[in-house]
Amino acid sequence: MSGLLGKKIGMTRVIQEDGLVVPITVVQCEPNVVAQVKTVEKDGYSAVVLGFSPLKKPTKTKKFHHMKEFRLEEGKELKKGDAVSVEIFTEGDEVAITGTSKGKGFQGVVKRHHMAGGPGSHGSHFKREPGSVGARAKPGKIHRGKRMAGHMGAETVTYKSSVIYLDKKNHLLGIKGALPGGINNLIAIKKSA
């Protein structure tokens, strides 16, 4: 099994044996249930679809709040209904974490693109504005992709990190550093190749 779904709980720190203090993000990974198995014969590749956070009133087609597909390692076999827990990871594993970053709403160019703006005093009317954006009569338009004010955050972000802490009894993973999103945000943890 190559991955797992979890819920971001918060941040803390771990003091290692050599005295080094490491900031970690704690992720609650309740056992994921195998909702679907994909095989080479039928689908062309080997994978499983994991379900996380079961619905209180499941329907015929929807049984979980969140579902995600993970590739299945060679030699591993899982059946529909099997549970996958944090035991697939060990301390020190390199992992790729995917989540949705915090939404910031509509932001200006200073916050969104770190533009400098103009002087803040002596009667200047050019403070946190973008300034000139266009060229001359040719091309007579603004090219696509110009850095301007707009919607910021709420994007799918992937980080690479490592597992520092593992609590199999309480289904907790401690991952080095900060993870995308707020508390209770869905996090997909996948073993790095």
Question: Among residues 183, 185, 160, 186, which one has the least CA distance to residue 10?
Answer: 183
Instruction: Specify the pLDDT at position 146.
Output: 93
Tokens in use for 131? 């300034």
**75 has a pLDDT exceeding 80:** no
Tens of pLDDT, residue by residue over 105-164, are: 999 999 999 999 889 899 998 899 998 888 889 889 999 999 999 999 999 999 999 999
Res 190: pLDDT: 94
What is the percentage of the chain residues whose pLDDT exceeds 90? Answer: 75
**7 in Cβ contact with 97 (< 8 Å):** no
What's the pLDDT at 132? 87
Q: What is the pLDDT of residue 193?
A: 67
Q: What is the pLDDT of residues 78-107, one digit of tens each?
A: 889 899 999 999 999 999 999 999 999 999
Token pair belonging to 176: 């080095």
- For the entire predicted model, the pTM comes to 0.84
Q: How far is CA 47 from CA 33, 69, 70, 93, 187, in A?
A: 14, 7, 6, 21, 19
Q: What is the predicted pLDDT for the residue at 78?
A: 87
pLDDT of res. 1: 66
26 close to 172: Cβ distance less than 8 angstroms: yes
The long-range contacts involving 107-111, CB below 8 angstroms and separated by at least 24 positions, are: 107/149, 107/150, 107/151, 107/152, 108/149, 109/147, 109/148, 109/149, 111/152
Amino acid code (one letter) for 17: E
Homologous superfamily, domain 1-54+64-102+160-193: Translation factors (2.40.30.10)
Residues of the chain with CATH 2.40.30.10: 1-54+64-102+160-193
Alpha-carbon Rg for the chain, nearest whole angstrom, is 23
Report pLDDT for 135: 85
State the average pLDDT for the chain.
92
In percent, the amount of the chain with pLDDT more than 70 equals: 98
State the maximum Cα–Cα separation within the chain, in Å, rounded to a whole number: 73
Provide the pLDDT for residue 110. 96
Sign of CA dihedral 49, 54, 59, 62: negative
